[in-house]
Structure 1
Amino acid sequence: MDPTVDTPPRGLLDPRAGAGVYREALIPAAGDLAGIVAHHWAVRWDLRGSAPYEVETLPGPAVVLVVESGKCRVHGVLRGRFSHALTEAGDIFGTTFRPAGFRPLLHRPVSGLTDRVVPGTDVFGPAAERLAARIASTGDIDERRVIAETFVRDHLTAPTPALDLVNSLVDEIMNDRECLRVDDLVDRHGLGKRVLQKLFREHVGVGPKWVIQRYRLHEAAQRLDAREIELATLAAELGYADQAHFTRDFKAAVGRSPADYGR
């Protein structure tokens, strides 16, 4: 099983630059984990005799469990860019959780992992080392998926009643271009701002305002990659009052202005 990604994953910066450098696959999660796991993914590369390649991402509101070189690590929601150097030959297998999906495995507020990448043993103890060893023992993607999902089920406790609500709110932010402010969620769902902020920090690790801005910047990067729109029009469609404000936010997150991105 090796499904090839036809469109770049959300949050991957400069995907065209990586064409031919590495191969990435997205693997659907089992149906019984639909509220917990968004998907699995695998990256393979062989750069022996070539210069290292730096992959940059603008992470979304999700915790990620990663196994690389026989080691397991947990990425909390990272509010800045994340860079990872690919060298020589290797592979990575990852499990990306739904926005609220990691809370039933962590047993405490997910905000404690925000802006942190920690060894898997910090969260799961020696079981993380056993997971990494089992995944390293096979190169078959479907076998790795089964191993990862068995691990998730073994560590899963009863989800909180808020899990489905928070997941649905984040999905709404991602898919509805008209959802541009926290007040939009307040008006639609009758939830107070403080309630929303507490729910998001407990289950996602960041506030709803950050999630709204991050998904809008993901959309901006995708559309700039496609070179399909003028900057002023893009800024307006993303809910910015003016192009200058959009440019500041984009540059702060991506490290380049929208005009320079993708060149």
Structure 2
Amino acid sequence: MPTRAGRVRAAVLRPSHAQHRIEIGRAEPPEGLADLVDYFWWVRWDTAEPHEQEVVPRPVVHLSAEVTADGPRLLVTGVHQRMFSRRLEGRGHTVAAGFRPAGFRPLLRGDVSALLDREVPAADVLGVDDRAVAEEVLACPRPEDGAAALGRWLRGLPRDDDPLVGRLAALVERAEEDPSLVRAEQLADLAGVSLRTLQRWFRGHVGVGPKWVVQRFRLLDVVAAAHGDDDVDWAGLAARLGYADQSHLVRAFTQLVGHPPASYRREA
């Protein structure tokens, strides 16, 4: 099974198509942000032809500095339940923070499910002007410096003290790392609460329910296997990841990615 970092990388679909068009980097969060931010990341692209990059969304909120039709802005991207696609043209870059699951809740100070399947300017949800910091972040010659500038801005924002954040972040990260976790009831048992309570916590803090979370991570295990060099026993993989049989795995993968896993593997 892939590592947690491997699942993060697996979220970028068709990596062989992207490797000559985009450059992806990441950095650890500074002291004082690691409880909320999992990592900072950036993408730089230089492509003569438009490139459509598809990503399998994880249960994570992102805050990204991007050039929009309204100029440089910070955009908050909530958890997307379906495939997320971004069209890249010409030359450009973006710098972003990927929050830990539930990590955006103390800054939002509200229900994270309100961001589900949405991408909105930070000013609309945080009540602060995002234009100046977005311009500063994108003007940095090195993306690492842009990430540091974004981190300084984030440290200055007011935040709630919410004891559920660390607890839920650790629980979701456990689900990501442990392929034997295939049902929401298992997470409820680990948390020591009823499934109904866990569902309420997840909707308010993570943005999606625990069933969606475990199913998405197991699908990312399938994507990671499709990206690997070794031959894949799809029936055996289905059994290890909690699918009723291979056809259920194929159906779930196809609904998300648009192709059965074997044909996607050949393409990717």
Q: TM-score, normalised by structure 1?
A: 0.93
In the alignment, what sits opposite 2:36?
A: 36
* 1:235 equivalenced with 2:238 (yes/no): yes
Comparing 250-259 with 150-159, greater Cα deviation is found at 150-159
- The answer to whether the Cα contact below 8 Å between 1:63 and 1:75 also exists between their aligned partners in 2 is yes
Secondary structure of the corresponding residue to residue 49 of structure 2: coil
CA deviation profile, 1:82-121 (whole Å, cap 9, x unmatched)? 1111111111111100001100110101000011111222
State the AA in 2 paired with 1:230: D
| Aligned-pair Cα RMSD in Å | 1.7
In the alignment, what sits opposite 1:134?
A: 136
| Structure-2 change in CA distance of 1:7 and 1:232 (3 Å) | closer
| Structure-2 change in CA distance of 1:27 and 1:111 (3 Å) | same
State the AA in 2 paired with 1:46: D
Work out the CA distance in 2 between the residues paired with 1:54 and 1:180.
31
- The answer to whether the Cα contact below 8 Å between 1:131 and 1:151 also exists between their aligned partners in 2 is yes
Work out the CA distance in 2 between the residues paired with 1:39 and 1:122.
23
In the alignment, what sits opposite 2:252?
A: 249
Work out the CA distance in 1 between the residues paired with 2:204 and 2:31.
25
- Give, in angstroms, the shift of residue 137 of structure 1: 2.2
- The answer to whether the Cα contact below 8 Å between 1:58 and 1:82 also exists between their aligned partners in 2 is yes
Secondary structure of the corresponding residue to residue 52 of structure 1: strand
Q: Equivalences for 1:129-168 in 2 at 5 Å?
A: 129-168=131-170
State the AA in 1 paired with 2:171: L
Work out the CA distance in 1 between the residues paired with 2:199 and 2:159.
23
Identity %: 35
- Give, in angstroms, the shift of residue 31 of structure 1: 3.1
Work out the CA distance in 1 between the residues paired with 2:218 and 2:7.
18
CA deviation profile, 1:112-162 (whole Å, cap 9, x unmatched)? 001111122212345211221111221222321221112211224133110
- The answer to whether the Cα contact below 8 Å between 2:40 and 2:96 also exists between their aligned partners in 1 is yes
- The answer to whether the Cα contact below 8 Å between 1:76 and 1:115 also exists between their aligned partners in 2 is yes
- Give, in angstroms, the shift of residue 201 of structure 1: 0.6
Correspondence for 1:180 among 179, 182, 188: 182
* 1:258 equivalenced with 2:256 (yes/no): no
Which sections of structure 1, spanning at least 5 residues, go unmatched? none
State the AA in 1 paired with 2:60: A
Q: TM-score, normalised by structure 2?
A: 0.91
Work out the CA distance in 2 between the residues paired with 1:6 and 1:205.
23
- The answer to whether the Cα contact below 8 Å between 1:8 and 1:15 also exists between their aligned partners in 2 is no
Secondary structure of the corresponding residue to residue 41 of structure 2: strand
Aligned pair count?
Answer: 257
The list of structure 1 runs, each at least 4 consecutive aligned residues, that deviate by more than 3 angstroms after superposition, is 5-8
Q: Equivalences for 1:85-124 in 2 at 5 Å?
A: 85-124=87-126
State the AA in 1 paired with 2:225: R
- The answer to whether the Cα contact below 8 Å between 1:120 and 1:129 also exists between their aligned partners in 2 is no
State the AA in 1 paired with 2:226: L
